[in-house]
Amino acid sequence: MDTNSHSTPEAHRSGSLRAVMNHIVEKHHTFCRNEVVRLSSLFGEVRAERGKQNPELKRMEALFAAMAKDLHMHLIKEEQTLFPYIARLEEAVCLGAAVSWPPFGTVENPIRIMVEEHEQTDRELKEMRSLSGGYLSPPDAPACYAALYEGLRSFEREMEDHIRLENEELFPRAIAMEQDACARKAAGQG
Ligand SMILES: [Fe+2]
Ligand SMILES: [Fe+2]
């Protein structure tokens, strides 16, 4: 992926799918990976200080760890399989060249799995928010407690933007592009 992609939402709508994917990887995937490391460490700190008084922290930490493990694999699947296929598809369409069809049949198959995984992440984020009482830290909580909750709140917002961009922009455009390429092939034009 090159690093000269546009990054505004307007650019995504009018720009190439490659630019959208570059933006997703550089901004959202990087944020996700960095925050998983930082928040995991903060969880350890907060639970050591307040785990006894606030037993919900243990459940939240376990949920976060499970979500982080799934997200790790999710990002790899996007970066190593789905996004490269979409980039090759777009390149072939732009050049008017033959599309090399993927081993997974149609792009709709991996996209369906990614969307299901997004829904799972969304459920986990909602459960963590609910366990935390809306991320309101107790008035006597140490600074690391407030930092953890603020970090989780930002993580949730960022994941919502990330998921929305994939579900509502990238994936529908990739499906439409593939369908168009199939129609052209059937008509003997690709
Ligand atoms: Fe992603
Ligand atoms: Fe995703």
Amino acid at 148: L
Q: 113 CA to middle of ligand 1, Å?
A: 12
CA 133, 138, 143: angle at the middle one, nearest 5? 115
Split at pLDDT 50, 70, 90, the class of 189 is low
What are the DSSP calls for 86-116, one per residue? Answer: HHHHHHHHHHTPPP---TTSSTHHHHHHHHH
Split at pLDDT 50, 70, 90, the class of 184 is confident
Phi and psi torsions of 106, nearest 5°: -140, 155
Q: 78 CA to middle of ligand 2, Å?
A: 7
Burial of 82 (C-beta count, 10 Å sphere; 0-12/13-18/19+): buried
- Read off the DSSP letter of residue 136: -
| Site of tokens 């149609």 | 106
Give me 98's structure tokens: 């033959």
Q: 169 CA to middle of ligand 1, Å?
A: 12
Cβ 18 vs Cβ 87: under 8 Å: yes
Q: 29 CA to middle of ligand 1, Å?
A: 6
pLDDT in tens, 9-27: 554 556 899 999 999 999 9
**Ligand that comes closest to the CA of residue 21:** 1
Task: Compute how many other C-beta atoms are within 10 angstroms of the C-beta atom of residue 45.
Answer: 15
Burial of 23 (C-beta count, 10 Å sphere; 0-12/13-18/19+): buried
pLDDT at 41 over 60: yes
Angle subtended by helix axes 171-186 and 83-95, to nearest 10? 50
pLDDT in tens, 95-123: 988 888 888 889 999 999 999 999 999 99
Q: 37 CA to middle of ligand 2, Å?
A: 18
| Site of tokens 């992926």 | 1
**Ligand that comes closest to the CA of residue 22:** 1
**Ligand that comes closest to the CA of residue 111:** 2
Average pLDDT over residues 76-80: 98
CA distances from 185 to 85, 104, 106, 128, 129 (A): 17, 18, 14, 47, 48
pLDDT at residue 6, as a whole number: 41
pLDDT at 127 over 50: yes
Region of residue 134 (left: phi > 0; alpha: psi -120 to 50; beta: else): left
pLDDT at 48 over 60: yes
pLDDT at residue 18, as a whole number: 97
